Amino acid sequence: MKTAQTIDGVRKLLAEARQAGRSIGFVPTMGALHEGHWSLIDQARRECDDVVVSIFVNPLQFSPAEDFDRYPETLDADLAGCEERVADVVFCPSVREMYGEEAGLLTRVHVSRLADRLCGQSRQNHFDGVCTVVAKLFGIVGPNRAFFGEKDFQQLLIVRQMVADLSIPVEIVACPTCREADGLAISSRNRFLSPEQRKAATSFYESLSGAVESVRAGRRDAAQLTASIRHQIETSGVDRIDYVEIVDATNLEPLPEIDKPARICVAAHFGETRLIDNVAVDAP
Ligand code: AMP
């Protein structure tokens, strides 16, 4: 496994693979790697000749009030894990390498509509930051396939739209959400939960699973379903629910009734820690 801190360096490492016609699989991450990330890397390993992982905590996608300064960094463990998973190249640039001095980037990539909904309502400019860094990383790495988790379902759809709109020649591969034994979606931020908050957070997946069962049993009405999810999360000891929404799985538009493939999406604060989750539901 090779590591590169510079854009030139990673390009040089990949030039040979590209010339030899090897397929490049890419897993962009912010580090603090966990089972969710490993599952993406494993899938890339199975599907591509060469696997590139990037580790970069992207300041552009955090607002000043968010947790950029306390985002966990575990680079040594991340590199050891990547080596174990047989990644070929890990790209871990500094902020200065990616964005230069003071003025930084003057460009932002904005995917309208999709980026303004759900998390976009409370995290202003978040998805512009995500799209800008992902577009830049695609320009640097030039992958054939890039692997994204369904855990961040809105992000997945936005990145798909971006590469289609900008004709970026990469296939976006969706990977299922990895969960703890009790169903909580694995996240780098789970480590910040106190034992009480960790317990309360199980209500997230329990309420979503309950809704999936209700839909299977024939319930279609989104208002009823979201009310019962809200009730379950509220009684668990959550601090603040950000949203509970049932949306069209293709465009994130709210669905009053589940009459096509849909996604139930939730976001809430447990103390200082904001968690998100989502599940697929469909009409019978
Ligand atoms: P992050 O490091 O949080 O930016 O995540 C990097 C990638 O890992 C994104 O595509 C996430 O959707 C994905 N990811 C994070 N957590 C999980 C999980 N629990 N299951 C599957 N994918 C995940």
What the block records as the tokens of 89 is 């190249």
pTM for this predicted structure: 0.97
Domain membership of residue 258 (yes or no) is: yes
Domain membership of residue 120 (yes or no) is: yes
What is the Cα–Cα distance from 65 to 94, expressed in whole angstroms?
22
CA of 1 to the centre of ligand 1 (A): 22
What the block records as the tokens of 216 is 């299977």
Name the domain boundary from 129, 146, 175: 175
Q: Domain check: are 129 and 192 in the same one?
A: no
pLDDT at 103: 65
Q: Domain check: are 147 and 18 in the same one?
A: yes
Q: Domain check: are 20 and 156 in the same one?
A: yes
The 10 Å CB-count burial string (b at 16+, else e) for 166-188 is: eebebebbebebbeeeebbbbbb
Determine how β-strand 89-91 pairs with β-strand 2-4: parallel
Name the domain boundary from 140, 175, 210: 175
Tally of CB atoms within 10 A around 260:
11
Active site residue 34: no
What is the Cα–Cα distance from 69 to 57, expressed in whole angstroms?
10
Q: Domain check: are 168 and 192 in the same one?
A: no
The 10 Å CB-count burial string (b at 16+, else e) for 109-142 is: bebeebbebbbbeebebbbbbbbbbbbbbbebbb
- DSSP, collapsed to helix, strand or coil, labels residue 2 as strand
| Structural domain total, the chain | 2
Q: Best substitution site from 26, 62, 151, 162 to test ligand 1's pocket, by max atoms within 8 Å of Cβ?
A: 151
Domain membership of residue 114 (yes or no) is: yes
Domain membership of residue 142 (yes or no) is: yes
Instruction: Find the catalytic residue in 34, 37, 231, 269.
Output: 37
> Is 175's C-beta closer than 6 angstroms to any atom of ligand 1?
yes
Domain membership of residue 164 (yes or no) is: yes
pLDDT at 284: 75
Q: Domain check: are 31 and 64 in the same one?
A: yes
> Is 30's C-beta closer than 6 angstroms to any atom of ligand 1?
yes
Domain residues for the domain of 262 are 188-278
Q: Which residues on adjacent β-strands are paired with residue 171? A: 145
Long-range contact list for 4-10, CB < 8 A, 24+ apart?
4/89, 4/90, 4/91, 4/92, 4/93, 5/91, 5/92, 5/93, 5/94, 5/97, 6/93, 6/97, 7/93, 7/97, 7/98, 7/140, 10/52, 10/89, 10/91, 10/140, 10/141
Q: What is the CATH number of the domain that holds 163?
A: 3.40.50.620
Q: Domain check: are 108 and 27 in the same one?
A: yes
What is the Cα–Cα distance from 40 to 147, expressed in whole angstroms?
6
174 contacts 263 by C-beta, under 8 angstroms: no
Per residue of the chain (284 residues), give pLDDT as tens: 999 999 999 999 999 999 999 999 999 999 999 999 999 999 999 999 999 999 999 999 999 989 899 999 999 999 999 999 999 999 999 999 999 986 679 999 999 999 999 999 999 999 999 999 999 999 999 999 999 999 999 999 999 999 999 999 999 999 999 999 999 999 999 999 999 999 999 999 999 999 999 999 999 999 999 999 999 999 998 999 999 999 999 999 999 999 999 999 999 999 999 999 999 999 87
pLDDT at 104: 78
Tell me the one-letter amino acid at 13: L
CA of 37 to the centre of ligand 1 (A): 6
* Residue of 283, 248, 242 whose CA lies nearest to 263: 248
Q: Domain check: are 58 and 137 in the same one?
A: yes
Q: Domain check: are 138 and 209 in the same one?
A: no
Q: Domain check: are 118 and 201 in the same one?
A: no
Q: Domain check: are 195 and 162 in the same one?
A: no
Domain membership of residue 162 (yes or no) is: yes
pLDDT at 102: 67
Q: Domain check: are 169 and 195 in the same one?
A: no
Q: Domain check: are 126 and 206 in the same one?
A: no
